[in-house]
Amino acid sequence: MAENTGARLPHIVVIGAGFAGMQFVREFPGDLARITIIDRQNHHLFQPLLYQVATAGLSAVDIAQPVRAVFGSRPNLDVIMAEVTAIDLVAKRVTHARGELPYDYLVIAAGGVTSYFGHPEWERFAPGLKSLDDALRIRRLILCSLERAETEPDPVKREAAMNIVIIGGGPTGVEVAGALAELTRTVLNRDFDRIDPSKVRVRLIQGGPRVLPSFPPELSECARRQLEKLGVEVLTGVRVESVHEGGLVVAGEAIRADNVIWAAGVGAAPITRRLAGVELERGGAIRVLPDLSVPGHPAVFALGDAAALTDANGLPVPGVAQAAMQMGRHAALTIARELRGERFSPAGRPPFAYRDKGSMATIGRSAAVADIRGRQLSGFPAWIVWLLVHLLFLVGFRSKFSVLLSWTYSYFTYRRGARIITGVSGEGSAGSA
């Protein structure tokens, strides 16, 4: 990081180096303020491709970039790796694991966490997918289960080891289910002697009437068909009643499965709950004003998944990467204008309006659905669009190159490189992953 020369400049503290925080820093003019970006991880993570790490398609380093490396030579920028534990909105101070930081402006871009809808005890048996550690845990769980099945003499236990249940039929659940069906049927099917991985049962459970509920119904139906073609059993309109070691109960029926993955709920990062006197939505997101500031605190902005807003067009802003990046840009421009001497009251600040560039989900090799400004695509064309968009938004040339190489390799060889099992200390621990 470049030496900090701006001690007398106003100080902006940014909590979170995710899509919103990184975009804020990128867009903010480097000479107007001193910025400290603080994150409990040392890297920016491209969450849309996490499922590919979980399903052995990509390696962890392909989708993460060290924050220090991204902003290498930028002046007036400090990077701190630490967890923020408290925010004092009156004293204008942030407390982190190793100290305190005073701020003139604060940007809360702490993102979200997996939510188990009031059942945190399910987390032990059904990992969510939010961080690299989560993705590696899921990959280990699946690969270790198949290793166990290979030598398991008891047919009931062997079947449980070869059962995968994904809870939640949104984009993450659909992508994980498609990728796991493909992994077991077209990649791992050649690797084992005693078991046939193409017999692995992959079930996708969705509480609502259709998968991908945020997409038009025709694309939901199309996604369902593409999943079923890959061998995924799609169960809609059924609710999970409990999750326990070795299985779960769905609509009164017990399912034995050693591999249960939670893709059902997202809540805001817990730090939002430590803000005294600030109104939160269900799930903990901060209800922000149209300019993205926190009510009563014009120097504090909340962005991305940590914020809840109905935008200037009267539409709720979705919890997606594009929205987080656009919010980062909006807040950066607002603060920069103020620091340049443009005086407008919080109510007079420009309101945020989300520009929806479309949504997409991929369903394994050569299959996807995309809704781009009302234009619906499915199958191979949607998959090509998905591929290009994800490559475009990945941070860093090395990542783009490495991901493109991995995808080309898997496309032509039906193999996946990232299948090494790590983090297993001994024979007995293989099941718990």
Ligand X SMILES: Cc1cc2nc3c(=O)[nH]c(=O)nc-3n(C[C@H](O)[C@H](O)[C@H](O)COP(=O)(O)OP(=O)(O)OC[C@H]3O[C@@H](n4cnc5c(N)ncnc54)[C@H](O)[C@@H]3O)c2cc1C
The residue sitting closest to ligand X, measured at its beta carbon, is 18
Nearer to ligand X, 38 or 202 (CB): 38
Decide if 175 is catalytic: yes
Q: Which strand (E) or helix (H) includes residue 390?
A: helix 379-393
Closest among 42, 46, 39 to 60, alpha carbons compared: 46
- Torsion sign, CA atoms 89, 108, 304, 7: positive
For Cα atoms 193, 198, 204, give the angle at the middle one, nearest 5 degrees: 140
**Residues 45-84, interacting with ligand X (CB under 6 A):** 47-48, 50-51, 83-84
Our CB check for ligand X shows the closer of 112 and 197 to be 112
Q: Does 169 bind ligand X (CB under 6 A)?
A: no
**Strand boundaries in 159-223, DSSP class E:** 163-167, 201-206
CB of 113 to ligand X, least distance (A): 8
Q: What is the DSSP letter of 47?
A: G
Residue 34 or residue 390: which is nearer to ligand X going by CB? 390
Any contact of residue 111 with ligand X (CB under 6 A)? yes
For ligand X, the closer of residues 109 and 195 by Cβ is 109
CB distance 254 to 260 below 8 Å: no
Q: How far is the CB of 409 from ligand X (least distance, A)?
A: 22
User: Which runs of E-coded beta strand occur in 8-76?
Assistant: 11-15, 34-39, 43-45, 64-66
Q: Which of 147, 152, 175, 182 is catalytic?
A: 175
Choose, by CB under 6 A, the member of 39, 147, 258, 311 that binds ligand X: 39
Phi, psi values for residue 303, rounded to 5°: -130, 165
Residue 16 touches ligand X, criterion: CB under 6 A: yes
Question: Does the protein bind ligand X through residue 272 (CB under 6 A)?
Answer: no
- Contact assessment for residue 269 and residue 84, using Cβ atoms and an 8 Å cutoff: no
Helix (H) or strand (E) holding 126: none
Binding to ligand X by CB under 6 A, coded x per residue (else -) over 283-322, reads ---------------------xxx------------xxxx
Interface with ligand X by CB under 6 A: which residues?
15-21, 38-41, 47-48, 50-51, 83-84, 109-112, 129-130, 171-172, 269, 271, 304-306, 319-322, 324
Residues with a known catalytic role: 175
